[in-house]
Amino acid sequence: MGLLGKHIVVGIGGGIAAFKAVVLVRELMRRGASVRVAMTRSATKFIGPATLTGLTGTPPVVDLWDPRYPGEVHVELGQLADAVVIAPATANLIARAAVGMADDAVLATLACARCPVIFAPAMHERMWLAAATQRNITQLIADGALIVGPVKGLLASGQQGQGRMAEPDAIANALEAALDARASETASTTATRHDLSGKTVLISAGPTVEDIDPVRFISNRSSGRMGFALCSAARLRGAHVVLVCGPTFAPPPSDIETIHVRSAREMHQAVKAARGRCDVAIMTAAVADYRPLHTANAKLKKQHDRMTIELVKNPDILAELGAERRDGRPVLIGFAMETHDLVAYAHKKLIAKKCDLIVANEAAVGFGRDDTQATLVGPDGDVALPPMTKVELANLILDRASTLLSLQARQTPTDGQTTSSRSPRRRRPLAPPPPRRPKGRSRSRA
């Protein structure tokens, strides 16, 4: 799905990170989006409007009274936008947005928008941690906004701290995830389905991180997008969703019960705690198979040409779920990502982990993309799917889960009933057998 053909409004605030907004606009356009820009007057002190005009082909909106724009330009932009990104979002801009002010081009456009809104804060760490800023951020989140960053790093002051604007690529990824979630919410194929109403669906997503020392770790390139697509689709179908999420750049869907974890062992504990209340478990997370035996307390120094790190196995979360379920509960779905012999490995995993279904895909079309191509591997055969979005794949997976839940319901006896759909046949009481005659004697005549 991605950003192809989407109309994105980028609102630029007056901070030193405004130069990164140029890179963000370029990245959004590279991904296929049509971009319009609104700027605060303070933003023009850091970056010239001519730069944005050259990039997008349209002058940025700075002055709401600019005679070049007929009518109410902020209304036009708000109606046009599939999403609005405020980057950088300064402390002042965040505060004014939190109370609903609309006294410049950025905030007036924001007030007219009815679409996903992302704020990418950028400021000094002291400003970010200030009680007022945190209170304003809480209000924006309550209003439905997504917050991406800030991240730790070198600040404009030369100090290190949490206040750097997130990188343009991370913001673009978060935007794509938000639009995918919105697409799943408005998809006509799922809007009327409530086949998971009353059910609890447990989903793991993202990578895990295994620390080597305070600055280095072992991980993988999982983005969490497949898990997030499943969360949004399951919620729309009436399920209560429990998401166990490793560290991801994109934020998980809102209004989901989310448990944030870092390592494989933390994910193992979170899944164990939640499994007893779930009807369906879908393990999409790319869990590290191994972790360092020892984690250094201080940064390891470069000393020799070679360094050996001893690794030990992590808990196998999927295998444990399969071994401990009873009567086919919960419905268990795993994922297999391979570089070769995809279906063969998926079949082995299906049996070894005692799953109901394995979703198998090639590593080349799995990580960090909006589209995917998978094969559904089950005990009743394989289904090779055409290329599709992760939202579409999510609904196909949930179709299978819903079918398995229905089969379980039909096979489970209730009090006073048998497992058969037919009523048991009544037997007639047996008549007592006639008395046996002694052998060798003839009947007497009357």
**The residue to which tokens 């410049």 are assigned:** 104
User: How many CA atoms within 13 Å lie on the side-chain side of 209?
Assistant: 14
Name the architecture of domain 7-176. Answer: 3-Layer(aba) Sandwich (3.40)
Taking the CA atoms of residue 28, residue 32, residue 38 and residue 44 in that order, the dihedral angle to the nearest 10 degrees is 50
């779905």: which residue's tokens? 333
What is d(CA 55, CA 59) in angstroms, rounded to the nearest whole number?
9
**Domain chopping of the chain, boundaries:** 7-176, 195-294+309-410
Residue 185: the pLDDT is: 55
Three-state DSSP at 441 gives coil
Residue identified by tokens 């037919």 is 422
Token pair 């268990």: residue: 332
Burial class (CB in 10 A: 0-12, 13-18, 19+), 380: exposed
In sequence order, what are the residues at sequence separation of 6 or more whose Cβ sits closer than 8 angstroms to the Cβ of residue 352? 319
Say which amino acid occupies 242: V
Q: Helix, strand or coil for residue 16?
A: coil
Give me Rg for the CA atoms of the chain.
Answer: 29
Instruction: Return the HEC string of 305-326.
Output: CCCCCCEEECCCHHHHHHHHCE
**Total Cβ atoms within 10 A of residue 187:** 16
Burial readout 23-52 (b: 16 or more C-beta within 10 A, e: otherwise): ebbebbbebebbbbbbbbebbbebbebeeb
φ and ψ of 109, to 5 deg = -65, -40
CB 146 within 8 Å of CB 116: yes
Quickly count: other Cβ atoms within 10 Å of residue 345's Cβ: 17
CA–CA distance, 223 with 38 (Å, rounded to integer) = 30
Q: Which pLDDT score is estimated for 282?
A: 96
The secondary structure of residue 435, as a DSSP letter, is P
Fold equal for 7-176 and 195-294+309-410: yes
End-to-end CA distance of the chain: 100
Closest by CA to 175, choosing from 324, 333, 371, 27, is 27
List C-alpha distances in Å: 202 to 46, 60, 243, 274, 325: 46, 45, 6, 7, 14
Q: What is the DSSP letter of 286?
A: B
Kindly write down the DSSP assignment for every residue of 329-397, as one continuous string: BSEEEEEEEESS-HHHHHHHHHHHTT-SEEEEEEGGGTTT-SEE-EEEEETTEEEEPPSEEHHHHHHHH
Kindly state the DSSP code that residue 243 receives in the 8-state scheme.
E
Residue type, 172: A
The pTM score is: 0.54
List the beta bridge partners of residue 241.
201
Structure-block tokens of residue 38 = 């609104």
* 220 catalytic per annotation: yes
- Residue given tokens 């004697």 in the structure block: 441
pLDDT mean by block of 10 residues, the chain; 446 residues: 78 89 89 87 89 86 75 75 89 92 88 87 89 89 83 76 84 80 54 77 94 89 87 89 90 84 94 93 92 90 87 93 88 90 89 93 63 84 81 89 84 50 40 47 39
Under CATH, which number does the domain 195-294+309-410 receive?
3.40.50.10300
CB atoms within 10 A of CB 12: 34
Residue tagged active-site, from 92, 136, 220, 297: 220
Edge-to-edge order in the sheet of strand 146-147: 34-39, 7-12, 83-89, 117-121, 146-147
